[in-house]
A and B are shown apart, each in its own frame.
Chain A
Amino acid sequence: MGYFVELVVSGLAIGAIYGLVAMSFAVIYKATGIVNFSQGELGMLTAYTSWSIATTLGAGGIATVLIAVVAGAVIGMLCERLIMRPMLGEPVLSVVLVTIGLAVVLRSIVTIGWGAAPHKFEVAGVDAVLDIGGMGMRVSQLGVIAMLAAALAGFWWFLKYSRFGVAMRAVAADENVARLMGISTARVQSVAWACASALAGLAGVFFAVIYGLSPTIYELGLKAFPATVLGGFDSVLGSGVSGLVIGVLENLVGGYLPSTLKEVAGFFLILVVLMVRPFGLFGEKRIERV
């Protein structure tokens, strides 16, 4: 039983990181109707930017989280304004291809700017191991689980009660009608990119703190993708929860089956789920595929 619980708990820690990235995919999809394939790269660039700022300032845990949120939001807004805004009104496929191009550019920027060598993202105290019922957990791992919980609660409130959240849902429901009602599509898109990038940035920073900072962080996008598909592309909260499901599933597969199956477990799960619910566990039926 102890072994099973330990597998589940450590799966929740990596799953929370997937969940944050999965939520970021869903936020952009919900507001703009496109899948942003540069989500992992946005997380990576935010992690590097946050590392530079946090190490310069000698920031602690909470300050580092704030830096990640602000840096992620700024990077997201800049990408939206400079690259995605000119694509407004263009075919969805073209916009999606631009996000793939953006991913490649961001990877290059990181390697040119910070080099390829891995670095330790040191934040005082977060590497410490806490004993929780005889089970060791790092402060950073508990932190990312708490962060996902906060993000889920925050987005639930934001989408349900805030004026901007309602506007975002209106744009997602029908862009033309929303525009006729006076909602600025461009503004909604900009906020969506900022929020998504901040979420991916948080995931990138937590991943870097736990596993080290290296340009391979962008692969988080690929790892979190099954969670978004599982949860439903238009379900921000469902994607977040599905991240936890994928993380735990991977760990249980790794713990009880040959380890090589661990990395494909998430993709296998979405194959099965999509056969039953093509729009994901929490998504709406009218999803349009590209």
Chain B
Amino acid sequence: MTLHLSRLTAAALVTLGMSLPALAQQQGVTDTEIVVGDILPLTGPPALLGVAHNLGVKAAVAEVNAAGGINGRKVRLISEDDGYVPSRTVQGVRKLITSDKIFAFTSISGTAQAEAAMPVIKQAGIPAMAPITTYEGLYNPTIKNVFAVGYDMSNAVEELVSMMADRYPGKKWAVISQDDDYGENVRAGFERAAKAKKLQVVSTQVYKKGQADFSSEILKVKQSGAEALMAGGVLGENVAMTKELERIGHKIPVGVTYVSRVPASAKLMGPAGENVYTVDYVYLESSPQGKAFTEKLGKYLSAEEMPKVNRYSYTGYAAARALFEAMGKCGKALTWDCTNAELAKVKNLDTGVMTPISFSATNHLAAPKLLLLKADPAAVTYKAVQ
């Protein structure tokens, strides 16, 4: 009897001993696989960016797997659709962490969505990339496990208006922005640039989110004598504003945020986009880097997926590449702490799709260099100015 018990104890110890390495491993990581997840708007109007972004991540996953994976482990992506609804983002984030047991997030949806999900992500300590939204709460103060790839929207607007002011000196300015946090960022950036460049601002208007017709706003801009406009809409709003300017024959330079820098926007504006400027840290599709990336995407995406590619595919790819790079540096002992620490050490990472990415222990916003772009109605895209 005693002998029998001892054998049982020994067997249990052996079994426990065998399972110890597995227990020590971080969730989402096995000897052969690493599971990553993303939560995005894959349905509804914002799916224009969510789907495109997801395709960029898919390409990065396919590329790393084709190269043998990360230290021999293949990467598997689980994507959740939040429909751009914050409550669904929180649900999806919980599911990915606790049920799917992912190792890291390659993206965490939009501003309000990321804001809602942040307490869960922060508490879990799971590495999370934020390449779609770069709202201040993601990086100021620095959160140990959250890394934003992009440029602060208000800083981007400040840069854009400053560059345009240099290009068109002495002009009277107008600004039209949305009545939400996005609009607040636009206004903050515009005001800083106006102060720094001593711009004469003759019209400031705030419109209600969801508005489609901008005829009165644009007539007001003309009435005020404005000779340059910062159009702080998302996409359709900026198109409507430029088309109204064209209708009333008020041909003035217009700045739009990089959110609008998608082919659909250029196509919808048509000839009305003649004087439209933006800034972006993502290379143009027509640039040599853009062409090389398109060729790469062609290897990993289907023919149905390729037309859905836009600048957000570039950001998705770049953020996933930064994450994989950090994971790769952790070797076989892949943990959240190691990945977070390695991400904080990323310096001038050239992903080939945007200006280089850098983080530090005290700065988790990549803030790549911005390029000034101008709409090109003939080519239905944007072209580099500098």
Q: Is A243 part of the binding interface, using a Cβ–Cβ cutoff of 8 Å?
A: no
Query: Within 8 Å CB of B235, what residues of A?
Result: 118
Contact present for A14 and B236 (CB under 8 Å): no
Q: Is B361 part of the binding interface, using a Cβ–Cβ cutoff of 8 Å?
A: no
Q: Give the residue of A10, A120, A207, A263 whose beta carbon is less than 8 angstroms from that of B210.
A: A263
Interface size, B (range): 35 or more
Query: What per-residue 1/0 map shows which CB atoms of B205-233 lie under 8 Å from chain A?
Result: 11110111101110110010000000000
Q: Is A147 part of the binding interface, using a Cβ–Cβ cutoff of 8 Å?
A: no
Query: What per-residue 1/0 map shows which CB atoms of A237-280 lie under 8 Å from chain B?
Result: 00000000000001111110011101110000000000000000
Interfacial residues of chain B within 235-252, with CB under 8 A of chain A in the complex: 235-236, 239-240, 246-249
Q: Give the residue of A212, A216, A262, A264 whose beta carbon is less than 8 angstroms from that of B216.
A: A262
Given contacts A7-B216, A212-B268, contact A116 B208 (CB under 8 A): no
Q: Is B330 part of the binding interface, using a Cβ–Cβ cutoff of 8 Å?
A: no
Contact present for A118 and B216 (CB under 8 Å): no
Query: Roughly how many angstroms separate A205 CA and B121 CA in the complex, as a whole number?
Result: 44
Contact present for B45 and A215 (CB under 8 Å): yes
Nearest CB in chain A to that of B52: its residue: A117
Contact present for B44 and A116 (CB under 8 Å): yes
Q: Is B169 part of the binding interface, using a Cβ–Cβ cutoff of 8 Å?
A: no
Interfacial residues of chain A within 197-222, with CB under 8 A of chain B in the complex: 207, 211-212, 214-216, 219
Q: Is B112 part of the binding interface, using a Cβ–Cβ cutoff of 8 Å?
A: no
Contact present for A216 and B247 (CB under 8 Å): no
Contact present for B216 and A254 (CB under 8 Å): yes
Query: Within 8 Å CB of B43, what residues of A?
Result: 111, 116
Given contacts A259-B217, A262-B216, contact A118 B264 (CB under 8 A): yes
Q: Is B189 part of the binding interface, using a Cβ–Cβ cutoff of 8 Å?
A: no
Nearest CB of chain A from residue B246's CB, rounded to whole Å:
7
Contact present for A120 and B236 (CB under 8 Å): no
Query: Roughly how many angstroms separate A214 CA and B207 CA in the complex, as a whole number?
Result: 20
Query: Within 8 Å CB of A13, what residues of B?
Result: 215
Q: Is A138 part of the binding interface, using a Cβ–Cβ cutoff of 8 Å?
A: yes
Nearest CB in chain A to that of B262: its residue: A117
Contact present for A136 and B249 (CB under 8 Å): yes
Can you list 8 A-B contacts (CB < 8 A)?
A7-B215, A137-B247, A211-B213, A212-B240, A216-B236, A250-B213, A260-B208, A262-B207
Interface residues of A, Cβ cutoff 8 Å to B = 3, 6-7, 10-11, 13-14, 111, 115-120, 127, 129, 135-138, 207, 211-212, 214-216, 219, 250-255, 258-260, 262-264
